[in-house]
Amino acid sequence: MPARMIYAQGDFDGACFLYSIGNAYVALRGEMADFGRLCAAMAQVDHPGDFLNGCVGTTGAYEKRYDLLEANIRRMLATLAGSGPGAPHFEVARLTAPPRPEALARLINPQSVVILRYQGSSQNAAAMDHWVCAVDCDAPGGLIHVACSVGLHKAVDEGRLYQETIHANGRRSNDVLTREREHTVIEGEVFQVSLLP
């Protein structure tokens, strides 16, 4: 198994939303997507210029456009899955209730992960407005383990060893949302992604 399986974004882009979708695919499939399919998935998103600007991302044409966010998650996952016999199928559902750790814990299971947007600080990053893929959750402890697309760069910038934690469910995380580091999961911008049997 490779030392790194969480997709990392570039220095200047604002594409964390797109990377969170790629990381959801990896978490649910246990493998990185074929590079050609990954390129095809990212090539067909709406308003691609927004993601090339690190100051925009989903705060431009996507802001409060839950239908657009969901449509692009669905389209990217379908492209990543490919077609033909044996191709995986995904279901996407937006959480409309307040995104408390207990609710997130119920959404993360052997067939599902959660793509979410948060503002604030994680264990390894401060003052973020960021999309991540939640792969595991300890609701009593208030811990949400995430695959974060800036985790690699933050570790390098801070001179830390980059590490990915492998959880009991086989998924990998590289950051944690905790009660000790103030953050807010943005209501309405939480999507459960399920791998259908």
The gap from C-alpha 47 to its chain's centroid, in whole angstroms, comes to 19
- Name the packing angle between helices 66-81 and 16-29 (round to 10°): 50
DSSP label at residue 34: P
Tokens 């600080």, located at residue: 121
At residue 44, the pLDDT reads 92
The three-state (H, E, C) secondary structure of 137-184, written as one string: EECCCCEEEEECCCHHHHHHHCCCCCCCEECCCCCEECEEECCCCCEE
User: Mean pLDDT, 10 residues at a time, over the chain (197 residues)?
Assistant: 84 90 97 92 95 93 97 97 92 91 91 97 96 95 95 93 95 96 95 96
What pLDDT was estimated at residue 1?
55
Distance CA 68, CA 13 (A): 20
Q: What is the radius of gyration, based on Cα positions, of the chain?
A: 15
Give the Cα separation of 191 and 95 in Å (integer): 6
Write down the pLDDT at residue 156.
Answer: 92
Report the pLDDT value the prediction gives residue 84, as an integer from 0 to 100: 87
How much is the pLDDT for 100?
Answer: 84
Res 127: pLDDT: 95
Chain CA centroid to CA 86, Å? 24
> What's the confidence (pLDDT) of residue 2?
67
What pTM was computed for the model?
0.96
